[in-house]
Amino acid sequence: MRGRGAEAWLYAMSAPSPIFVAGTGRSGTSQLANILGEHPQIHRIPIETRFIVDPGGLRDLADALTIRYDPYVGDDALRRLSDILTVRLVGGRDRDRGHTVPTAIGERHYWDAVGRLWSELVACTFDEPVPAGGFGHADWPAGPFEPQKYRRAVPRYFGDRRELLGILRRAVDTMFGGAAADAGKPTWCEKTPFNLLCMDFLWELVPEATIVHIKRHPVAVVASHVDQPWAPPTVDGALAWLKPLYDRWLGWKTTVDLTDRRYVEVRAEDLAADWPEQRRALFERLGVDDFATRSTFQPHRLENRNDQFDPGTRELVERALDGVVPAMGYA
């Protein structure tokens, strides 16, 4: 028994760290996540799970049960998280892969984690009476379909934020770690582009995680956004969407020392220009051996946006992003 325990400890010490992939969207995050998932030691969670950084997810909950706590704020945060975990992610299928989040992770791992969360986060529940016809009309009879009770949860207050983060981390480990174990791999990779703006929380939740930020020339990112059904369809709209993201990221980056963190920054164009060498360097920075993946970065896939804008439109975009382009490392 002692031998197996020592072996497990050594394995944990040598296993690569979990990985979060980040970017602006349309910068190569999906392709990078696919590549990482083809490595023998890294399991890609097949779709964006969303429940960590999206509104109403774990990041919002962490503040609601600590620095923003009151019973109403906490009840609202639990209600929104429940909606994400038991409605949105269960009913919504990924456009490209056809999964829901529970099927992508594994139903058993997903529901084990979700079921345990409520007992750890909720102090008690009670039914609040709902007056018929709205408040101020308590003497009116209730209609046949009017709710007469409203279920409330009294959330736990975590004076020690680390205790709450430990609970949330166990849920992530149950889901993502369980999925990786099922795939026979020691670690996992999760891709959600707006991980880019939530790095502080991701490292708070998973301190040993590596965050890989993949960049692409901002003008090409704008061009690609215009063609997406989930983004504004005009150049002005795409700029209104993207410029604050760049500004937030660049502003935050000046406040932290990323040399002290597990942080990897790559440019999609560099990966495509010399894929075998750039791939080797990337895997080395992630602490795994080089591996010839089926998927690659290819120049023609990145250059297809170069002529999308006419000269006048391109000049407008470059002028709007005048400070962003060099700050992101592009000429």
Structure confidence at residue 139 (pLDDT): 65
Q: Is the pLDDT of residue 7 over 50?
A: no
Each as own residue / partner, the long-range contacts of residues 54-57 (CB below 8 Å, 24 or more positions apart, any chain) are 54/84, 54/192, 54/194, 55/80, 56/80, 56/81, 56/83, 56/84, 57/81, 57/84
Q: How confident is the model at residue 138 (pLDDT cuts 50, 70, 90)?
A: low
How far is CA 283 from its chain centroid?
21
Three-state DSSP state, 17: coil
Q: How many Cα neighbours within 13 Å face the side chain of 191?
A: 25
pLDDT tens, position by position, 14-64? 679 999 999 999 999 999 999 999 999 999 999 999 999 999 999 999 999
| CATH number for the domain running over 18-41+186-331 | 3.40.50.300
**Domain spans in the chain, listed from the N-terminal domain onward:** 18-41+186-331, 47-185
Q: Give Dmax (Cα) for the chain.
A: 77
What pLDDT is stored for residue 9 in this prediction?
A: 36
pLDDT at 136 over 60: no
pLDDT higher than 90, residue 268? yes
